[in-house]
Amino acid sequence: MVSVATLGSHCALQVLKGAKDEGLKTILISEKKREKLYKRFKFIDEMILVDTFSEITSKDCEAKLKENDAVLIPHGTLIAQMNSKHIESIKTPIFGNKWILRWESDRKLKEQLMVAAKLDVPKTISEPKDIDRLVIAKRQGAAGGKGYFLASSEADYNKKRDNLISQGVIKSDETLYLQTYHSGVLAYLQFFYSPIKNELEFFGVDKRHESDIEGLARIPAQEQIGVEKVPSFNVIANSPLVLRESLLDKVYKMGENFVEASKNLVPPGMNGPFCIEGVYDEEASFFTFEFSARIVAGTNIYMNGSPYSTLIYDEPMSMGRRIAREIKEADNSNQLEKITT
Ligand code: AMP
């Protein structure tokens, strides 16, 4: 019987609770310092304690996972803490498509996939000297918005970048990615694609609370002059959203196009959970600035199901549980290789 394993962080509780609800054995790979926290949760059957998550490719860890026929669920922490090469070398079967995680981490590949999926992507600015409008400077990988900043000219960009380097937030040799800033309502669209059913499910939508760009909005413009600190976009929390129903048709279309483009560019395609991230402008047009090619932490707000999963399932269905159900069904029908890489 297969078991479900994940790293102790991000959405591990949701994933393992969902797996337990589906009757699967659960394994947590936990840093020793978090053992006490995770011991509190009875739905975690076994813990593999490590000093750092990179030990996931150690002989010991891989052997324990193999013993349990474990499927590893990748999430943001795996991407933030390990480079693509390391992730690709993991021998334990990974749920979804481990090859597409490289496309999530690399800004150029990411843009290529979003464009191939016919998503409207904010314009990229190739060099700081070309900044002629408000841009957002972003770091590579899943940085969670930490160290991102806004700039409206080359001089402004250089000043803020130098400031963040001197604070140790970004490295001096780090290439930042510049993108036109779009203002509007931020929305993070959560999907699940099942290659077994060949069906796309729209699972939920959330918004992120980011510090301290959000705090800045609470300070009247005349007082903002006195704020020296460059506000960052560090994600602190997520809250639920529901969309105007008239927007849903386009949401499904975006998800379907993304699944289609991924099949062509990164076989076997975008299997399992993913998220299209962007902003609705005043015309209700959606500009996609990012995607996550795996479960996002924003699904944690729907541990008991979301308004949209309720329309599909007659029982509480979190994204974690949906993943476990797919694994269970694939296992029962000998199709595990179809949903793992
Ligand atoms: P990301 O890592 O791309 O998800 O970006 C982190 C945060 O930066 C997002 O949650 C948004 O608040 C903000 N952001 C990123 N790109 C843009 C953009 N092009 N326009 C407006 N806000 C953006």
Single-letter residue type at 40? R
pLDDT class for 204, splitting at 50, 70, 90?
very high
Clarify whether residues 136 and 278 are in a common domain. no
Distance from the alpha carbon of residue 191 to the mean position of ligand 1, in angstroms:
19
> Is residue 225 a part of any domain in this protein?
no
232-248 confidence digits (pLDDT tens): 888 899 999 999 999 99
Question: What number is the average pLDDT over the span 275-299?
Answer: 97
Percent of the chain with pLDDT over 70: 99
The pLDDT of residue 217 is 85
CATH of the domain at 132: 3.30.1490.20
Question: What number is the average pLDDT over the span 126-155?
Answer: 88
> Is residue 10 a part of any domain in this protein?
yes
Distance from the alpha carbon of residue 138 to the mean position of ligand 1, in angstroms:
8
Distance from the alpha carbon of residue 73 to the mean position of ligand 1, in angstroms:
25
pLDDT class for 227, splitting at 50, 70, 90?
confident
Decide if pLDDT at 152 tops 90: yes
The pLDDT of residue 136 is 94
Clarify whether residues 114 and 252 are in a common domain. yes
Give the ligand 1 atom nearest the CA of 122. Answer: 19
Clarify whether residues 213 and 296 are in a common domain. yes
Please give the tally of structural domains in the chain. Answer: 3
Clarify whether residues 69 and 205 are in a common domain. no
> Is residue 226 a part of any domain in this protein?
no
Decide if pLDDT at 290 tops 90: yes
Percent of the chain with pLDDT over 90: 85
Clarify whether residues 146 and 30 are in a common domain. no
Average pLDDT of the residues of the chain: 95
CATH of the domain at 265: 3.30.470.20
Clarify whether residues 80 and 12 are in a common domain. yes
Clarify whether residues 57 and 128 are in a common domain. no
The pLDDT of residue 143 is 66
Clarify whether residues 91 and 146 are in a common domain. no
pLDDT class for 39, splitting at 50, 70, 90?
very high
Domain containing 263 equals: 105-120+184-219+237-339
Decide if pLDDT at 321 tops 90: yes
Ligand 1 first shell, C-beta below 6 A: 122, 136, 138, 145, 148, 179, 181-182, 186, 208, 210, 233, 277, 279, 289-290
The pLDDT of residue 121 is 97
> Is residue 224 a part of any domain in this protein?
no
Clarify whether residues 212 and 302 are in a common domain. yes
Burial pattern 192-220, b for ≥16 Cβ within 10 A else e, equals bbbbeeeebbbbbbbbbebbbbeeeeeee
Clarify whether residues 322 and 278 are in a common domain. yes
pLDDT class for 141, splitting at 50, 70, 90?
low
Clarify whether residues 293 and 198 are in a common domain. yes
pTM: 0.94
CATH of the domain at 33: 3.40.50.20
103-140 confidence digits (pLDDT tens): 999 989 999 999 999 999 999 999 999 999 999 999 87
Clarify whether residues 156 and 137 are in a common domain. yes
Give the ligand 1 atom nearest the CA of 180. Answer: 19
Decide if pLDDT at 173 tops 70: yes
> Is residue 137 a part of any domain in this protein?
yes
> Is residue 309 a part of any domain in this protein?
yes
Distance from the alpha carbon of residue 187 to the mean position of ligand 1, in angstroms:
10
